[in-house]
Structures are given as structure tokens and as C-alpha cells.
């Protein structure tokens, strides 16, 4: 038996329940792993709350890193004892042991530990598809990234800066300004004190930015659209302030011939894309282009507290859960 976090109903952090679960043996194309570190991501709160409804009861969590304990009869790419990381459905990473499909796992190279791997997979794979699959900014372009001091933001800003573009980041407090600058932002705007749309017009001499990467959602949409140049790209990839309302195309898109997209990680995670993205991510870390500092560690049994802190914006940077033993 292994301890896992299970939800029987959607709701607040209180619905997260730790239970003993029977793991069993892997199917032909599956691997059984012992989790050594578990990633904590804002999307976990969407699954828990029901914003992204689940068939209940359900496990929770998409991201983790650990050691392969057993392999299925048709598994070709992994062996017992391999160090692996993953960031995909099926949900259930909030667990001591679990079975996952071979196709969602990536080998962790020497020199990167399980905690770093677990903390960066979802954020790093998200950054990869945003910068390489959704819109790849050139060195002459100016981009805007919201929540630049957050978990995804810290990875994204370092990675984007390594591509040579001019980077504007927004944050929600003065203490986060320095974090965003340290991670590569050329300009940082505290949107609680300044009108970021107005400030961006000043920075760009009235032109606007080439692309906005917006994981905040409801609270920043109007300003994001207003910050774009004519024929700019609006990339909406998250809902931390709440989901977007239906978009009024004549009001928001047509006046500047804007492009709008709502990409998700699951549509950029076939086996070939995943292996390529994972390799590129770990190379960026190994060669110092992306530096990862884990902000906080929680025990698996403290999953409720981790969600409370996540939703109250107390977590500044990557955070992980550690199995209790």
C-alpha cells in the first residue's frame, strides 16, 4: 500500500484527502515508479476546485520525479533503476508510488536531481511550447509576460532572455520586482501600482509589444490586448485570476488585426515532442541558461497547506511536495 492524495468531491483545499492505495503492477506499456519529489502547480488547484472538472474520485497532480521500480513487458526505453520525470495526465502524482504510461516519462540526465526535475517539468515544458511551438520571438522583438516572478515566469523569463529578445514582465508586489529582474526582465511593472498598458506604450514609444504571454487570465486580458502592436499575438495560457469571458471579436481582435490563441500543454506532448522538449529543457539547466531555486518544500501530508499557500500567492517560485518517508 502507498499513500496518495485523493479527492472525492470538488472544492477548496479541504477536499484533499491522504489515503492508502493499492498500486499493483504495470501494464505492458507502463512503468511503476517511486516518486521522490512531486511538482506543485497552479493547474492542480483547477482540477481540485472543478474549474477543470474530473471524474471522481480522482488522484491529483501531473508532475513528479522518481525511480523506476518495475516495467511492463513491452517497455523499451526504460529499465529498473532509471531516474525519470514526467508532467502529464493521467493525474495522480501526489503519491508515494504510482504507475504511468512509458510515453509520458523522460530520463533525468546526470547532474540534475529529482527535486529540480520535479519542480521544473510542467513549467519548463510549458515554456518550451510557448517559445518554440506557439510563437517564437526573434531577437529584435519585444514581449510581455505576466506574473514574471511566479513559477512559470521565472523559467520563462530566463529562457526567453537566452533567445535575445527584449522582455517586459509584470508582477503584483514590490518584493517580486527584483525577482523578475534577476530572471532576465529588461523592464518590470508592478501592475498594482501602475497601469501596465500605459507603461508599455511608453516603453515601446506607442508601438506596443509583438506578443503577450498571459497566464493570469481574467484580470489582465483587456490590458494585454491594449498592449499589443497591430497584428500582434495574444497567447492566453492560464487562468490564475479566473477564466476569460467569451471574447468580443469586433471589440478586441478586429481593431488591430490581432491573433489570439489558447494553447495547452497536452496538445504539445506527443512522444517525440516530449522527448525533444525534455532534452532541450535539461540542457538549458545543465549549461546554466536556466537556474532553478526551489522556493519551498512541503510533505505530501501537507498538501492542503500547499494549496492554501498557492492560491493566496504566498509561493514565489517553484515548490514541491516530498513523500512523507
Q: What is the pLDDT of residue 206?
A: 96
CB 197 within 8 A of CB 228: no
Q: What is the pLDDT of residue 325?
A: 63
Q: How far is CA 254 from the centre of its chain?
A: 30
Q: How many residues does the chain have?
A: 325
CB 233 within 8 A of CB 138: no
Q: What's the rounded Cα separation, in Å, for the pair 86 and 117?
A: 9
Beta-bridge mates of residue 126? none
Q: What is the pLDDT of residue 118?
A: 95
Where are the extended beta strands (E) located within 55-191?
58-59, 63-71, 83-87, 97-101, 105-107, 142-145, 166-171, 187-190
Q: What's the rounded Cα separation, in Å, for the pair 40 and 50?
A: 17
Q: What is the pLDDT of residue 84?
A: 97
CB 171 within 8 A of CB 149: yes
Question: 107 φ, ψ to 5°?
Answer: -70, 140
Print pLDDT tens along the chain (325 aa).
899 999 999 999 999 999 999 999 999 999 999 999 999 988 899 999 999 999 999 999 999 999 999 999 999 999 999 999 999 889 999 999 999 999 999 999 998 999 999 999 989 999 999 999 999 999 889 999 999 988 889 999 999 999 999 999 999 888 899 999 999 999 999 998 999 999 999 999 999 999 999 998 888 999 999 999 999 999 999 877 778 889 999 999 999 999 999 998 878 877 788 888 999 999 999 888 899 989 899 999 999 999 999 998 888 778 999 997 6
Burial 44-54 (b: 16+ CB within 10 A, else e): bbbbbbeeeee
Domains of the chain: 2-108+294-322 (3.90.180.10), 123-265 (3.40.50.720)
User: Which pTM was predicted?
Assistant: 0.84
Amino acid at each position: 500500500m502507498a499513500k496518495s492524495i485523493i479527492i472525492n468531491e470538488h472544492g477548496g483545499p479541504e477536499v484533499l484527502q491522504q489515503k492508502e492505495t493499492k498500486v499493483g503492477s504495470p501494464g505492458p506499456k507502463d512503468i511503476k515508479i517511486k516518486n521522490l519529489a512531486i511538482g506543485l502547480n497552479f493547474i492542480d488547484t483547477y482540477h481540485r476546485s472543478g474549474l477543470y472538472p474530473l471524474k471522481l474520485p480522482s488522484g491529483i497532480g501531473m508532475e513528479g520525479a522518481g525511480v523506476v521500480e518495475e516495467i511492463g513487458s513491452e517497455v523499451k526505453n526504460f529499465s529498473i533503476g532509471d531516474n525519470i520525470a514526467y508532467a502529464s495526465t493521467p493525474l495522480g502524482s501526489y503519491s508515494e508510488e504510482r504507475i504511468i504510461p512509458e510515453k509520458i516519462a523522460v530520463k533525468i540526465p546526470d547532474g540534475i536531481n529529482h527535486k529540480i526535475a520535479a519542480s521544473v517539468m510542467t513549467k519548463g515544458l510549458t515554456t518550451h511550447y510557448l517559445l518554440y511551438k506557439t510563437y517564437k520571438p526573434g531577437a529584435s522583438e519585444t514581449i510581455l509576460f505576466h506574473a514574471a516572478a511566479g513559477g512559470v515566469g521565472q523559467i520563462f523569463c530566463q529562457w526567453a532572455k537566452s533567445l535575445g529578445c527584449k522582455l517586459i514582465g509584470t508582477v503584483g508586489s514590490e518584493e517580486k520586482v527584483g525577482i523578475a529582474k534577476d530572471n532576465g526582465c529588461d523592464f518590470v511593472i508592478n501592475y498594482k501600482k501602475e497601469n501596465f498598458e500605459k507603461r508599455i506604450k511608453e516603453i515601446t514609444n506607442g508601438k506596443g509589444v509583438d506578443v503577450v504571454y498571459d497566464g493570469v487570465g481574467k484580470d489582465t486580458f483587456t490590458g494585454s490586448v491594449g498592449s499589443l502592436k497591430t497584428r500582434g499575438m495574444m497567447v492566453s495560457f492560464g487562468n490564475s485570476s479566473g477564466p476569460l469571458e467569451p471574447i468580443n471579436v469586433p471589440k478586441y481582435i478586429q481593431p488591430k488585426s490581432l491573433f489570439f490563441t489558447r494553447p495547452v500543454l497536452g496538445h504539445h506532448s506527443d512522444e517525440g515532442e516530449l522527448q525533444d522538449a525534455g532534452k532541450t529543457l535539461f540542457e538549458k539547466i545543465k549549461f546554466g541558461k536556466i537556474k532553478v531555486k526551489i522556493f519551498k518544500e512541503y510533505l505530501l501530508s501537507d498538501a492542503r497547506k500547499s494549496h492554501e499557500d498557492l492560491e493566496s500567492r504566498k509561493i514565489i517560485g517553484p515548490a514541491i511536495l516530498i513523500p512523507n518517508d
